[in-house]
A and B are shown apart, each in its own frame.
Chain A
């Protein structure tokens, strides 16, 4: 098939699946089969494209002009490919998990859940393969709107309140700051296309670039750089599969992915280094890394603890982007993938505990590892990856970021990273410890339903596999940094 058509299919498959899912709402089996088929097809498409793009020819769809000088276009680029591949692969696993979770917990409105989920994936794919800022912005907003119904899924007062925070922060930041920056870039350059080396280098002086960078970083609220992070813990009221795939992978990664895109392809790493404003980004991100970790320490609710961990981990990527070195760009890209596998495993485990034992607080986990050994083993693997211990994927990405910091002589950054590693261990290992080594209350329950266990096992294996066989991901990451190995 024509690569450009494949590119369109990437958005069209999950997009069209919403219709079929909605139509088969009365038949749960058929509905979930449609979801799984769509997820499978989507990943196959991404895989086919990945093979296709190895030739090196740039692949792009025909532009669809919406305004003079502004067009919608999809194109392939290594970072997007990495992000798209991770998201689509995890959608399959997450769908299996969803089936187990939603049925076991007898959640209401399941059809609307699957419809919105597929719509979110369509938007995510659009973000991953956007060829310019306008397209990115379009799908970025679509993703916010498509995930809103999932956040308020429970329809109770808490969910509605969380939904308000979610929308206000994400739509507010993007419509005010992000959009201004996008319009400005178009006006400055006459284009918003993502080009290696950036597009504003010749037209924006240092102050303008600085303001633009600030508008982008805070405008892209999905990256959850403090103080635009409150929406993420709020979104944890959603059912666990949503927290797992969307609020640990798709949505937040869309945020850091967008920041990375802007830094690499719009503002330009070299240009930023030239005007010397990368340190500002590093400072903000470094603060977020530490502050969010400290907050996570004090969260008793497991999902909230994981959410703050996500805030912290996202800023690793932003921080790495701010270091403005090829090595750090590789680290940032890898961390997108590594964190995705690790965090989804953790959320899967949290959801499994909730489904089997109806427990949500860290303090209730005593001894649970004996009744749910598989779940807690997966949790441990995820936790290792967060901390950055071998043999998990987190080790590799952290290694690259550390190396970049060391190479650039950023001793403060090194200190921040090491300190945060300790903090990561401090808030993620206790649940593992109490689960295995403390006496439980003797409740009678076993593992969660099979689909849940299978799904979390797969992602945990993914964490390890990415450590053992990082070649493909590394290859992509080096291409992003502009170095062909």
Chain B
């Protein structure tokens, strides 16, 4: 009974909770509500993934309207994995939030913070689950507007300007996206993704479609911070409250990447084969530039969160590179790295957030003596940092292995070199943290770990960095089937 409505509840519950949360006036109830909601959402997503994995795609008709007239929610293994990722990160981050938010945000704004978080969760889950192109836009704006608020709540006044910049660029991106959708709509008369795919195959005048694809790519490129459209990201991540950064870094760009996959492969794939278009070449060039240039930029950052943000741009480059390679192996690598990067970057931002909480400063120098002051935090940073480098036994290695072998499989040995070679750059920026933490004199006299409620979530993600590095049955298998699904076209 109720199980049939879970796809709708996946989105509806956080939405409802956001409304209630906004009406609360006290911090703790708002936090409790947000945490409970996140856990429920995670449970639903896990259930959906299990169902989609065993019983094939789930189609849900919102308000019982038949597609393509009504909005359809469609869950297959590709987006079920993403739902689990988004909701799961939310569920891990929320327990951390209470102490962290208490330190970073004024008391009276707490309910707003949690309400914004829940709205953002709603938007991201909605973007992932819906099969309606316009509905994607609506959820995208729900997620974006709430994330601007999340960022603007940061302690530093720079957060305000970062949020403003993100608002401008984010809105431009979303608008480009909707222009692209508009072109597709004009030529097909439908917004349902499956229906779009079917009708595009019969379109004779392809010019509007090509223009639409261009707008779509740029719009989503802005949202996912594809180099050189990443301008908004470093400041936004650097000045947002820690919880906001961790959540957004782990999820927001990932959902945009998923949409890109959906449009390129499911919607356009059957009629406009991705591999035959000029897009992959451009995509690969931009991705390699992202991997190398953003890694170099990361090395030169003084602020630790900014450094991690640039590292995100580089890591996104890995993911888009997998998409650019375009083969099933490439897509599998991209999806796995998408998942894995979310886990390791989430862990890093949470751990670093704890270190900043104690050190009181965002500069790398402020990490001095961290190895002795906060050994558990430091150990976590090292493990997550090694994942970022791609050391075997960690999640980062799995993604890089898959991507490198996809590149070699296509006969592009130099791409494989770029993929593994940029690891050397990652060594440099990760080791700046390690050296500061080990060899610099302590920046503060406070020798204390972060509170256990913060340490636990951070370490759960850290442990997952190892777990998914050694047991890839969940990630690689699901990603492999998702890639096959995307390339094969969800229409069939």
Chains A and B share a contact (CB less than 8 Å)? yes
CB <8 Å contact, B405 and A179: no
- Interface contact B438-A152, CB-CB below 8 Å: yes
Contact status A168-B424, CB under 8 Å: yes
Q: Please state if A167 and B401 are interface contacts (CB–CB under 8 Å).
A: no
A171 part of interface (Cβ distance < 8 Å) = yes
Task: Point out the residues of chain A lying under 8 angstroms from B473, CB to CB.
Answer: 65
Contact B439 A183 (CB under 8 A): no
Q: Is A469 an interface residue (CB 8 A)?
A: no
Contact across chains for A175 and B424 when beta carbons are under 8 A apart: yes
Is there a chain A Cβ closer than 8 Å to B393's Cβ? Answer: yes
Pick from B392, B398, B404, B435: contact of A180, CB under 8 Å: B404
Whether B427 and A172, one on each chain, are in contact in the complex, defined by CB atoms closer than 8 angstroms, is yes
How far, in angstroms, from A121 to B390 measured CA to CA in the complex?
22
Q: Are B408 and A184 in contact (CB under 8 A)?
A: yes
Question: Hey, which chain B residues are within 8 Å of A67, CB to CB?
Answer: 398, 401-402, 472, 476
A residues less than 8 Å from B404 (CB atoms): 179-180, 183
Please tell me if B231 contacts chain A, counting CB pairs below 8 Å. no
Check A70–B401 contact: CB distance below 8 A: yes
Q: A160-B439, A168-B427, A180-B416 given as contacts; is B471 within 8 A of A175 (CB)? A: no
Given the known interface contacts A141-B392, A180-B404, the answer about A172 and B424 at a Cβ–Cβ threshold of 8 Å is: yes
User: Is B361 an interface residue, CB under 8 A from the partner?
Assistant: no
A288–B473 Cα gap in the complex (Å)? 44
Q: Tell me whether B421 is interfacial, beta carbon within 8 Å.
A: yes
Given the complex, which residues of B lie within 8 Å of A65, measured CB to CB?
473
Pair B421/A176 contact, Cβ less than 8 Å: yes
Name the distance in Å between A417's Cβ and chain B's nearest Cβ: 35
When chains A and B are docked, how far (Å) is the Cα of A305 from the Cα of B176? 65
Q: Give which listed residue, B390, B392, B408, B472, contacts A138 with CB less than 8 A.
A: B392
Known contacts A66-B471, A152-B438, A184-B408; A141 and B391 CB within 8 A of each other: yes
Which of A68, A72, A141 meets B476, CB within 8 Å?
A68
Considering the complex, which residues of chain B in the window 463-485 have a beta carbon less than 8 Å from any beta carbon of chain A? 469-473, 476, 480
Complex CA distance for A426 and B398, rounded to whole angstroms: 49
Give, as a whole number of angstroms, the nearest-CB distance from B219 to chain A: 34
Asked whether B320 is an interface residue with its Cβ less than 8 Å from the other chain, the reply is: no
B405 touches A138 (CB 8 A): no
CB nearest to B386 among chain A residues: A145
* Residues 127-144 of chain A, each 1 if its beta carbon lies under 8 Å from chain B, else 0: 000000010011001100
Given A175-B390, A176-B421, A180-B416, are A155 and B427 neighbors across the interface (CB < 8 Å)? no
| A437 in contact (CB, < 8 A) | no
> Inside 8 A of A176's CB, which chain B residues have their CB?
417, 420-421, 423-424
Complexed CA–CA distance, A175 and B424 (Å): 7
* Pick from B386, B420, B428, B438: contact of A179, CB under 8 Å: B420
**Hey, which chain B residues are within 8 Å of A155, CB to CB?**
438-439
Q: In the complex, what residue of chain B is closest to A155 when comparing beta carbons? A: B439
Please measure, in the bound complex, the distance between the C-alpha atom of A474 and the C-alpha atom of B470, giving whole angstroms: 38
Q: Are A186 and B405 in contact (CB under 8 A)?
A: yes
With A and B bound together, what is the CA distance between A301 and B153 in angstroms? 58
- Asked whether, in the complex, the Cβ of B408 is within 8 Å of the Cβ of A167, the reply is no
CB-CB contacts below 8 Å: A171-221 with B:
171-172, 175-176, 179-180, 183-184, 186-187
Name the one of A72, A172, A183 contacting B405, with C-beta atoms under 8 angstroms.
Answer: A183
Contact present for B393 and A171 (CB under 8 Å): no
Which residues of A lie under 8 Å from residue B107 when comparing CB positions?
none
User: Contacts of A138 on B, CB cut-off 8 Å?
Assistant: 392-393
Rounded to whole angstroms, the CA-CA distance of A65 and B470 in the bound complex is: 8
Question: For residue B421, which residues in chain A have a CB less than 8 angstroms away from its CB?
Answer: 175-176
From 229 to 263 in chain A, residues with beta carbon under 8 angstroms from any chain B beta carbon are none
Q: How far is the CA of A171 from the CA of B480 in the complex (A)?
A: 29
**A171 lies within 8 A of B424 (CB):** yes
CB contact under 8 A between A171 and B427, given known A66-B472, A155-B439: yes
Chain A CB within 10 Å, residue with most, of B386, B401, B476: B401
Q: Determine whether B409 belongs to the interface, using a CB cutoff of 8 Å to chain A.
A: yes
In the bound assembly, the distance between CA atoms of A70 and B405 in angstroms comes to 12
Task: Give A12 to B185 CA distance when docked, in angstroms.
Answer: 61
Q: Which residues of A sit under 8 angstroms from B420, Cβ to Cβ?
A: 175-176, 179-180, 183
Instruction: For residue A221, give the distance in angstroms from its CB to the closest CB of chain B.
Output: 12
A-contact bits for B362-385, CB 8 A (1 contact / 0 none): 000000000000000000000000
* Contact, CB under 8 Å: B438 / A180: no
Known: A164-B431, A187-B409. A180 touches B401 (CB 8 A): no
Considering only CB atoms and an 8 Å cut-off, how many residues of chain B contact the other chain?
A: 34
Residues of A with C-beta under 8 A to B386: 145
Tell whether A64 is near chain B: CB-to-CB under 8 Å: yes
Chain A, Cβ-Cβ closest to B398: A67
B487 beta carbon closer than 8 Å to chain A: no
Q: Is B294 an interface residue (CB 8 A)?
A: no
Chain B residues within an 8 Å CB radius of A64 = 470
Bound-complex Cα distance A179 to B393 (A): 13
Across-interface contacts of A70 in B (CB, < 8 A): 401
Nearest residue, chain B, Cβ from A176: B421
- Tell me, rounded to whole Å, the shortest Cβ–Cβ distance linking A123 to chain B: 11
Instruction: Point out the residues of chain B lying under 8 angstroms from A164, CB to CB.
Output: 431
Instruction: Decide yes or no whether B85 CB sits under 8 A from chain A.
Output: no
| Shortest Cβ gap from B177 to chain A (Å) | 34
Q: Are B416 and A183 in contact (CB under 8 A)?
A: yes
Partner of B435, one of A68, A141, A160: A160
Q: State whether A180 and B424 are in contact (beta carbons under 8 Å apart), knowing that A67-B402, A152-B438 are contacts in the complex.
A: no
B431's partner among A66, A167, A187 (CB-CB below 8 A) is: A167
Decide yes or no whether B389 CB sits under 8 A from chain A: yes
Contacts of B471 in A (CB 8 A): 66
- By CB atoms of chain B within 10 A, which of A72, A167, A168, A179 has the most? A179
Min CB distance, B438 to chain A, in Å? 7
A residues in contact with B423, CB < 8 Å: 171, 175-176, 179
Known A-B contacts A138-B392, A180-B420, A183-B405; the reply to A68 vs B480 at CB < 8 A is yes
- Say how far A279's CB is from chain B's closest CB, in angstroms: 24
B476 x A134 contact (CB < 8 A): no
What B residues does A184 contact at CB under 8 A? 408, 413, 416
Contact digits for B190-220, partner A, Cβ 8 Å, 1 yes 0 no: 0000000000000000000000000000000
In the bound complex, CA of A187 to CA of B403 (Å): 12
Are B417 and A66 interface neighbours, CB within 8 A? no
- Distance of A94 Cα from B452 Cα, bound (Å): 40
Alpha-carbon distance A141/B471, docked complex (angstroms): 19
Closest A residue to B332 by beta carbon equals: A68
Task: Give the Cβ gap from B162 to chain A, nearest Cβ, in Å.
Answer: 33
**CA–CA, A134 to B472, complex, Å?**
15
Nearest to B423 among chain A residues (CB) is A175
Return A166 CB to nearest CB of chain B, in Å: 11
What residues on B are CB-neighbors of A134 within 8 Å?
392
Q: Which residues of B contact A167 (CB under 8 A)?
A: 427, 431
Give Cα distance in the complex from A142 to B393, angstroms: 9
A187 with B408: in contact, given A137-B392, A179-B420 (CB under 8 Å)? yes
CB-defined contacts of A160 to chain B, threshold 8 Å = 435, 439
Proximity bits, B408-435, A CB within 8 Å = 1, else 0: 1100010011001101100110010001
In the assembled complex, how far is the CB of residue B340 from the closest CB belonging to chain A, in whole angstroms? 12
Point out the residues of chain A lying under 8 angstroms from B390, CB to CB.
Answer: 175
Q: Are A187 and B405 within 8 A (Cβ)?
A: yes
Inter-chain contacts of B389 with A (CB < 8 A): 171, 175
| Closest CB in chain A relative to B299 CB, distance in Å | 13
Which of A134, A176, A184 has the most chain B CB within a 10 Å cutoff? A176
Q: 8 A-B Cβ contacts within 8 A?
A: A66-B398, A67-B402, A160-B439, A176-B417, A176-B421, A179-B400, A180-B417, A187-B409
Chain B residues with a Cβ under 8 A of chain A: 386, 389-393, 398, 400-402, 404-405, 408-409, 413, 416-417, 420-421, 423-424, 427-428, 431, 435, 438-439, 469-473, 476, 480
18 more contacts with CB within 8 A, not counting A66-B472, A179-B401, A183-B408, are: A66-B470, A67-B398, A67-B472, A68-B476, A70-B401, A138-B392, A142-B392, A160-B435, A164-B431, A168-B428, A171-B389, A171-B427, A175-B424, A175-B427, A176-B420, A180-B408, A180-B416, A183-B401
In order of increasing CB-CB distance, the 3 nearest A-B pairs are A138-B392, A175-B423, A172-B424
